Structure 1
């Protein structure tokens, strides 16, 4: 499985990365969810290793922050070139380890390279501004690196959701301790460490430490870590935010969603179905931005439902490593069983199972639920599986009320042939991301990405938000000589 040029197994198997490839306190197998095949093993870091790496990163960061801006930019540019050069290898790992289809894996590999390219431009950006002051005194506000950034990343887009934090944090003069999800530690950790190793990043600036909850807790409490950037479930994010806040760390939480796609009665039906299928079924629904609720105006609801059911039944499910399929496996049995429980509970609460709902091993059928009201579990819970929850509405006001009836606030979309009508409706939606005439799953690296309410803590990552996120303000004044104060 491992390619000898880019990821030779003997380099990383059973090891973590602290500037060198080192054996960890323990190891666990890398499993292919589609087949159960063991693809290798990754080291698991314990709290003691987290502490050692955080201290080492804090020491290395000082010289990196003072390095010429172009020195940092060159490392990021080289990493981007390597990501493009080894795209085929990276895609293969995404397919095998995370259960991605080749379409999704190719997109993830390319957007991760783009994240590196965009980060390479950060070191040469303006880092502050001149403030008004009195004659003979300069007053400046400048952005300074935070120090050590702890990144805790998830399994679903393991490479990109780690890279979008690691790359800008390093580019802006920070060191990084990365704790990827152990289920996808090769895609979300080993690949990143290897890219930066080959790109010439000085040792000690990036530490790649897969680990369990104890390792994550150690990262959030370590005195050398200035910030935690966490992407994952809302339940886990609450714990991370609480722990980081207790230790007065800056924290960025990118959490779950129960995202609504509103289909108005003037929408092109075929385009609405195409957008819905993409938003619901891409990567088996294992995306924080997945379309969790499809709100359809009643005048087109019967035709829409009929077409969506036919579309779901046409989607092929299977092993993405061996077959050209639309959907691969869910990540593990726990996630599969959660989805099955929610679907069963939805039907018990009055929903109609139009199609799907069954599974074979980790392969969950594309599913459509109708007749879902506000009290139904499928209306409220994030399922993280290929389940379309279709809800009718009558008036635009009702669509707004249904869309906003959620603890979450990550992404929403509106499909309509009347852009003005859609914009007026969109102004009333409580969401961090809003897409007019597009579905809910969108990210382009150059955009600020973040949710509100239970989808995040109001922070954003990406594009213009990166400098704000991974640096802090310092006020600096300069006088020719110290004043003689009257006291």
Structure 2
């Protein structure tokens, strides 16, 4: 049943500094758990993207010219409004994305922290002074806005994974065009537009254009979009990278992962299994940092598997909007069927289901697979579902080799009581983030975040990395007197 649309600016509208109808098709925003239609969404056509980018291009110069304290004030207002509207954001995160309340609450708090950090960015130094070999010359480098930044955000953490790019990009003087995923367009886009509008951001500096792949392709290919920040699958990221490479356009790609959690034979298994369960099953495993491969030393493997299975068996699956559950639905039926297929194919190859393994519609039980080998899909593929595949190793060197069997390099974790040993193993792993005696799903707003290999192109979000990511550097030399050259 359609919910009431009274009092909502964004019903069947795009945001280009004002609320306007889109020229693409109208599509329903659906509840992940039931498929019920919650609202109607406008989608952006190719012409809508072009118009939005032109508005953003014209508005950007004025915004960049604002004094640092005025830009900071707008971003502090954003933080305040995010906090004031927490219940509304959480409601839509639960309904659209199948988030349990605790996950939704964590996400909105993380966004608030991001906004506070972004509000501090405009007051930071904008350049550096360098010496010169030329007498009488002064050299300095200053950071300049890029211009119009296109942000393409996913559905799994739709508010955080859009705002971690939107906020710092705006803080340093860019305009932003955000394309949220249609499966999370309300909480991950349209509500944000209302916040920025109320916060006092100048008209035309921030845009929200819901749409599908074509909308994203139009944004990527537009010559006046000078940077793309994309979070999503490696397959799509490669295509975006190819287009941006041909156009010599800056691009930040935060892509998929098949993240290892390595358990050594001197690990605290109660702690390791807790971290393994959290890393594998949080938000139904629909996290790029999910603990997707549990590599366990042979002497403690059966004990770890038993503890992990006990934890999995206690997790309740259901509709997070109507009952207290640990796991909500997967985002759509296609993804649920894909997870089931990976499990079934791995079992057919010799894997053993120790806990879970059953699907009911879009709901999938927390699942532990034992006897998983590197040739099985549960080892080699990014599952993006609540499945913990366990693979046994004998030596530390074999563990490193198993980790490197995957082209991904986003996050990793190592568990062991001997810090020298655990640290030595961690230093050999090709991953952008490694956590010792913790799990793989970690994020702190002030620390650079990003992956290696098939998990990204080396871009980083967070803290000082934001200045590098969302600005360009200009060298300026100043000579107090003109220099006479030989000719």
What TM bracket, shorter-length normalisation?
Answer: over 0.9
For structure 1, which segment, 7-16 or 442-451, has the greater mean C-alpha deviation from structure 2 after superposition? 7-16
Q: Contact 2:3 / 2:39 at 8 angstroms: preserved in 1? A: no
Q: Which residue of 1 aligns with 2:299?
A: 299
Offset of residue 424 of structure 1: 0.7
Offset of residue 445 of structure 1: 1.0
Q: Contact 2:3 / 2:38 at 8 angstroms: preserved in 1? A: no
Report the count of equivalent residues: 485
Q: Which residue of 2 aligns with 1:412?
A: 412
The answer to whether structure 1 residue 12 and structure 2 residue 10 are counterparts is yes
Cα distance in 2 for partners of 1:305, 1:184 equals 35
Cα distance in 2 for partners of 1:482, 1:255 equals 50
Q: Which residue of 2 aligns with 1:288?
A: 288
Q: Which residue of 2 aligns with 1:210?
A: 210
Q: Which residue of 2 aligns with 1:48?
A: 47
The answer to whether structure 1 residue 109 and structure 2 residue 116 are counterparts is no
Q: Which residue of 1 aligns with 2:432?
A: 432
The answer to whether structure 1 residue 97 and structure 2 residue 96 are counterparts is yes
Deviation string, structure 1 residues 92-137 (Cα, Å, up to 9, x no partner): 1111111000111000010011111100011011111001013322
Where has structure 1 moved over 4 Å in runs of 4 or more?
1-4
Offset of residue 326 of structure 1: 0.5
Cα distance in 2 for partners of 1:325, 1:212 equals 31
Q: TM-score, normalised by structure 1?
A: 0.97
Cα distance in 1 for partners of 2:269, 2:171 equals 45
Q: Which residue of 2 aligns with 1:184?
A: 184
Q: Which residue of 1 aligns with 2:126?
A: 127
Cα distance in 2 for partners of 1:424, 1:2 equals 56
Q: Which residue of 2 aligns with 1:193?
A: 193
Cα distance in 1 for partners of 2:419, 2:38 equals 49
Q: Which residue of 2 aligns with 1:236?
A: 236
| Structure 1 residues without counterparts, runs of 5 or longer | none
Cα distance in 2 for partners of 1:268, 1:331 equals 34
Offset of residue 10 of structure 1: 3.4
Secondary structure at 2:125's aligned position in 1?
Answer: coil
Structure 1 residues 112 and 153 mapped into 2: Cα distance closer, same or farther (>3 Å)?
same
Offset of residue 446 of structure 1: 0.7
- Match for 2:22 among 24, 27, 43? 24
Q: Contact 1:3 / 1:89 at 8 angstroms: preserved in 2? A: no
Secondary structure at 1:11's aligned position in 2?
Answer: coil
The answer to whether structure 1 residue 60 and structure 2 residue 65 are counterparts is no
Q: Which residue of 2 aligns with 1:397?
A: 397
Q: Contact 1:2 / 1:8 at 8 angstroms: preserved in 2? A: no
Q: Which residue of 2 aligns with 1:318?
A: 318
Cα distance in 2 for partners of 1:8, 1:249 equals 41
Cα distance in 2 for partners of 1:483, 1:46 equals 54
Deviation string, structure 1 residues 381-417 (Cα, Å, up to 9, x no partner): 0010000001111111111111121010000001112
Offset of residue 266 of structure 1: 1.2
Q: Which residue of 2 aligns with 1:71?
A: 70
Cα distance in 2 for partners of 1:243, 1:349 equals 39
Offset of residue 9 of structure 1: 4.8
Cα distance in 1 for partners of 2:486, 2:3 equals 72
Cα distance in 2 for partners of 1:190, 1:421 equals 48
Cα distance in 1 for partners of 2:394, 2:486 equals 73
Cα distance in 2 for partners of 1:242, 1:217 equals 12
CA RMSD of aligned residues (A): 1.5
